[in-house]
Amino acid sequence: MSGMGDRRSISLTEGLTEMESDLSKVYAAIAKGAMRIARELPFRVGMTSSVNPSGETQAELDVFANDLFAHSLIDTGVVSEVASEEMETPMTAKSPSPRMLSVAMDPLDGSSNITTNNPLGSIFGIWRGKLPQPGRAQVAAAFVTYGPTLSLTLTRGKEVDQYIEVREGAHKDQFVRAHRAMRLPEKAEVYGIGGDRAAWTPEVKKFVEKLEARKMRLRYGGTFIGDFNQVLKRGGIFAYPMLQNKPDGKLRILYETAPISLITEYAGGTATDGRGPLLDLKPTKLAQTSPFFVGNRSLLDELRRDLSTPGSA
């Protein structure tokens, strides 16, 4: 099972009492910001003339989400640094401390989906101390999904809980826990592999052919979080692999893959860069990228064997 629904409604406010104070303040800020962004979605659908540090044109909502989350997190008083793929340099607190938290985020995952009204997301990795650090050193991680429902998925200790926004009734305009201690289903149903198929390495192509032969369902919607949600709920694999013209992949370790890798590991799955655990990578730059594969352990074990044997069938 992917998770167990709570028998009674547990609000996020109640759930945060189970966590240490600094982390609860960060999660509360993320939840409040996510609700604000969800409300702004219909009104901020344009593009700006600006580009982010990766050279990508910024959507109006990119800039809004980045500014909202960055300032909200710093204003908690427990975050000393916020690094984002939308900022050249991190935002820092006026009086930072080595023991304060640092957050690396993708404030709006899937900007290209804004005009087509497809799912969007926000991703957060939380560390103690200055960035960059290995993913294994994360204190916690979370992601938001802006879809038919607004959901917040977060780590609680070494477990994963998911909260959804309630829009009517006694808990209106609150997040309520829908799943506690989520686990990836043992049976893998879906896969999504990014990048131009023609640029995949032969090993990746052959691995995908095996998935296709098993009649696994293709799910690739152009939003990392949207595609990962499919894996978390249905079991399977998502990847943005090494490409022949892009050996280090596309996804950024601190902003995207390390947080999702931690969540996946706590939900019983695993993640790799094709050589070893993604969480053990030691990035030296904030925007450093790597190949990325995440999902059920059985599939990832099979993948690693294929990648270590060039030309494997």
- The predicted-structure confidence for 91-150, as pLDDT tens digits, reads as follows 999 998 888 999 999 999 987 777 777 889 999 999 999 999 999 999 999 999 999 999
CATH number (3.40.50.10420, 1.10.3210.50, 3.40.190.10, 3.40.190.80) of 190-307 reads 3.40.190.80
pLDDT at 49: 47
Q: What does the pLDDT read at residue 50?
A: 64
Angle at the Cα of 225 from the Cα atoms of 223 and 230, rounded to 5 degrees: 100
Q: Are 49 and 128 in contact (CB under 8 A)?
A: no
> How distant is the alpha carbon of residue 248 from its chain centre?
18
Alpha-carbon distance of 121 to 113, in angstroms, equals 10
Confidence class for position 15, pLDDT limits 50, 70, 90: very high
pLDDT value of position 6: 47
Cis geometry, peptide bond prior to residue 132 (ω within 30 degrees of 0): yes
pLDDT confidence of residue 173:
87
Quote the pLDDT of residue 115. Answer: 74
Distances (CA, A) of 117 to 33, 150, 160, 174, 234: 20, 14, 28, 24, 23
**Ranked by mean pLDDT, which of 110-124, 149-163, 166-180 comes out on top?**
149-163
Residue, of 223 and 216, whose pLDDT is higher: 216
Q: How confident is the model at residue 34 (pLDDT cuts 50, 70, 90)?
A: very high
Quick: pLDDT tens for 230-248: 999 999 999 999 999 999 9
**Hey, where are the domains in the chain?**
12-179, 190-307
pLDDT score at 200: 96
Is-contact 237 294, C-beta < 8 A?
yes
The whole-number pLDDT of residue 46 equals: 54
pTM of the model: 0.92
pLDDT above 90 as % of the chain: 77
pLDDT score, position 9: 85
The sign one gets for the Cα dihedral 286, 122, 25, 37 is positive
Could you tell me which CATH number the domain at 12-179 has? Answer: 3.30.540.10
Banded model confidence at residue 2, pLDDT cuts 50, 70, 90: very low
d(CA 164, CA 144): 10
pLDDT the model gives residue 111: 79
DSSP string, 187-242: S--EEEE-S-GGGB-HHHHHHHHHHHHTTPEE---S-HHHHHHHHHHH-EEEEE--
Find the mean pLDDT for residues 60-65: 90
pLDDT digits (tens, 9 = 90+) for 265-290: 999 999 999 999 999 999 999 999 99
